[in-house]
Structure 1
């Protein structure tokens, strides 16, 4: 499942326009953060809330928590709790599905009439892309889970990944952790011998999961499974890779290859206006796995080049960006556009380049 869930609000008052933006970031659905910015883009209030991952808690509970955060945000900003927002934007995993949009909007209107007069609901990656560009782009997520999405200038959307830990999440923190654990067990069983020594990963696994015997791992992957907790083991693997452990470095290289494949999968669908940009095709990279970019880089480039073995890339260069602001700002931008209330945005201040790939 996607590693990052976001909820964003937009409040329009008759004479003064205030953008409410909730940026919900959590691993496995643990917490939410709301940032309130005004029409000039200045933060004027903040609040925290519980997870709003409707895949895990259901739509009804998601609505409860969204409304709770709206109330907290209003109090923090000194606004009336009885005055509905003009537009409430929700950028959520699964937000691209019409069935979900209708049900979520109906629940909000019926149960919380003072929350908002209207609703704008979109998929979870839109907010990230909108912070970096006003004409679309690519966002590549690698946190607890993984996902890649392309938004073309005409608003056509194409995705790769985002199917959760059972069907996907390749290259994510969960994937790295799961692959590390499976490598240990496969080697111990004699089922598939690891090409690298498993000692450090095995010792780290026993320590991280507080294991005393091999069967103890089953509680963490079945009985008491928490995707976010398993994914956190990737941090330990990153530490081992930084110290030079061959298996740890191999795991991050493989993760990089898979993340590169996400870009390859969408390449044929990239609009020529994005691909033909003289400054290069920009990819916004979101998620904690990218904190270990130096460990991913070799594999990522290899993954991209594998996709070009029999064809030339559609872009002159690929520019990887990391966000400098919360993606809630992007959702506020989208929400403002939805009610024809745009505000000036300096996109160059919202991201920074950290790597460039030239075929």
Structure 2
């Protein structure tokens, strides 16, 4: 689920109401009597990995909507993504408007890197890429940090996207009318044009984004269960978010870091995957497992491998 259900943004009461409304809608679509309680409800929510949030949501549903479900399982949005694609755990690496990396081992132990929002993190996200391009252009124009690449293409793309004629007009989008998603949208414009024009500055920024994404993997590396490293296809990484659509721009930096540091944490082979289903499928599987029920899920059809590599292979780059 997305930020529409995040209690820090909309308040606990509204969050619970929206969850209740969503369950009611699902029952209607499934032809289930609205008065029948679910056996289990799985919530895969942004911020759902925090113990306090889990307790508040479970207690809130129990007190405000006692007929909703007999059991409630709460986890972060990353848990749902992994559980939808992989039955025994793996890594989910999010690079959308924001970014996050979550490891879940077969024993459900976890490790996390990132996911701290655009003020404290979100490196390699669409927002980060857009903001970095703008910042490098500003620094070059100020003669603070001269850019080693021509900034003309980036400047023109920025001005066109934000519909401005001078850089001072950009301040309105970053301060008076700040909209993170709108700023992040510049990333798509840069990527589409860079693929065609091979602009050196944009390629440089995406390469750095790829490097940082790989560093997220290396960061959780010491906590990866060996079972995940030796399975067929190596370490499986579920890649979520629109930035992954620019994989060819991310690839040089991503593989470069894994070639240098991956084997230090036991990573010798990787399979990058994209989901074909909603993370809600994983949330349902987790909630069922929580009450000792295994859902008949065909994991082979839930995700596709779009890139496979043996780390250290000369054919990677």
Q: Could you tell me the TM-score, scaled by structure 2's length? A: 0.93
Match of 1:326 among 268, 278, 301: 278
Q: Is 1:295 matched up with 2:281?
A: no
| Aligned twin of 1:355 | 307
CA contact (8 A) 1:91 1:122 kept: yes
What whole-Å deviation, never above 9, does each CA across 1:271-321 have from its counterpart, x for those lacking one? 11112224311111111111111111111111222325xx64513311111
Q: What residue ranges of structure 2 are gaps of 5+ in the alignment?
A: 312-317
Q: Cα RMSD between the aligned structures?
A: 1.6
**Which shows bigger deviation, 108-117 or 191-200?**
108-117
CA shift for structure 1 position 335 = 1.2
Structure 1: distance between partners of 2:182 and 2:8: 18
Structure 2: distance between partners of 1:216 and 1:63: 40
CA shift for structure 1 position 259 = 0.5
| Aligned twin of 1:344 | 296
CA shift for structure 1 position 112 = 2.4
CA contact (8 A) 1:211 1:217 kept: yes
Structure 1: distance between partners of 2:166 and 2:13: 41
Structure 2: distance between partners of 1:117 and 1:276: 38
Matches of residues 115-126 of structure 1 in structure 2 within 5 Å?
115-126=68-79
| Aligned twin of 1:335 | 287
Task: Give the structure with the higher percent helix.
Answer: 2
Match of 1:220 among 173, 179, 200: 173
Q: Is 1:161 matched up with 2:111?
A: no
Equivalent residue of 1:284, what SS? Answer: strand
Q: What residue ranges of structure 1 are gaps of 5+ in the alignment?
A: 1-5, 7-23, 30-50
Q: Is 1:178 matched up with 2:131?
A: yes
Task: Give the structure with the higher percent strand.
Answer: 1
Work out the number of aligned pairs and report it: 310
Q: Is 1:114 matched up with 2:67?
A: yes
| Aligned twin of 2:102 | 149
Which consecutive segments of 4 or more residues in structure 1 shift more than 3 A? none
What whole-Å deviation, never above 9, does each CA across 1:98-157 have from its counterpart, x for those lacking one? 211111222223322332233111122111111222211111111111111111111110
Structure 2: distance between partners of 1:200 and 1:58: 43
CA shift for structure 1 position 229 = 1.1
| Aligned twin of 1:79 | 32
CA shift for structure 1 position 74 = 1.9
CA contact (8 A) 1:276 1:315 kept: no
Q: Is 1:197 matched up with 2:150?
A: yes
Equivalent residue of 2:34, what SS? Answer: coil
Q: Is 1:249 matched up with 2:203?
A: yes
**Which shows bigger deviation, 142-151 or 55-64?**
55-64
CA shift for structure 1 position 52 = 1.4
